[in-house]
Structure 1
Amino acid sequence: SACPRCHLKERCSPSDYRRIRRWEHEQILEAMQRRLDRNPDAMTIRRSTVEHVFGTLKHWMGATHFQTRTLARVSTEMSLQVLAYNLKRVMKILGVAKTMRAMRMAGS
């Protein structure tokens, strides 16, 4: 309500009143920023551990965009990609024969 009388109004907003909006979960982002300020190396560690998987998935599957729309479908698409990625890793570690044997044992 102070906007029309404010001496900075001409530099602030061309409208009668300035509206400031805040996302309902803004405090979560602020808390995350405070944690990052206390530990600036956290993102470097995260990039080398967690986000590496997503980069590998995108490169391996050639996926730069999801093929589907809506959260439920994109979630399914991502789950299938992660499953394929994990199966590929298990086969690389155990070998195809041991992986198949383990899958048969888990199914019975």
Structure 2
Amino acid sequence: MRILLNNAIEHVVDDEKVELTLQSGETLQADVVIYGIGISANDQLAREANLDTANGIVIDEACRTCDPAIFAGGDVAITRLIMVHYTAAKAGETPITRRKLPLPQC
């Protein structure tokens, strides 16, 4: 397995092997390509409105911000409830993966 960080894929050809061209011009062939994209929430408007931000708009369980007249939701909203869903998803990931792949038990 080869892990490439800070690269961008320009072009992909799906044939018997996947062939992809990186933004640098390098061409690679692979059986499988796993591509991860990182983004940051655009909280500029929230910062201009003096809302609490932490790489997103901080909300409570009712989607309220620190301003009682402003609510937020979606990917830009940051709440501990998101972590609950993430933790639940991670907990279910291993049993599902073990059914699909012959991984050794720890």
Larger of the two Rg values belongs to structure: 1
Range class of TM-score, shorter chain: under 0.3
Higher strand share: 2
Which structure has more RCO (C-alpha within 8 Å, separation ≥ 6)?
Answer: 2
TM-score (norm 1): 0.21
Higher helix share: 1
TM-score (norm 2): 0.21
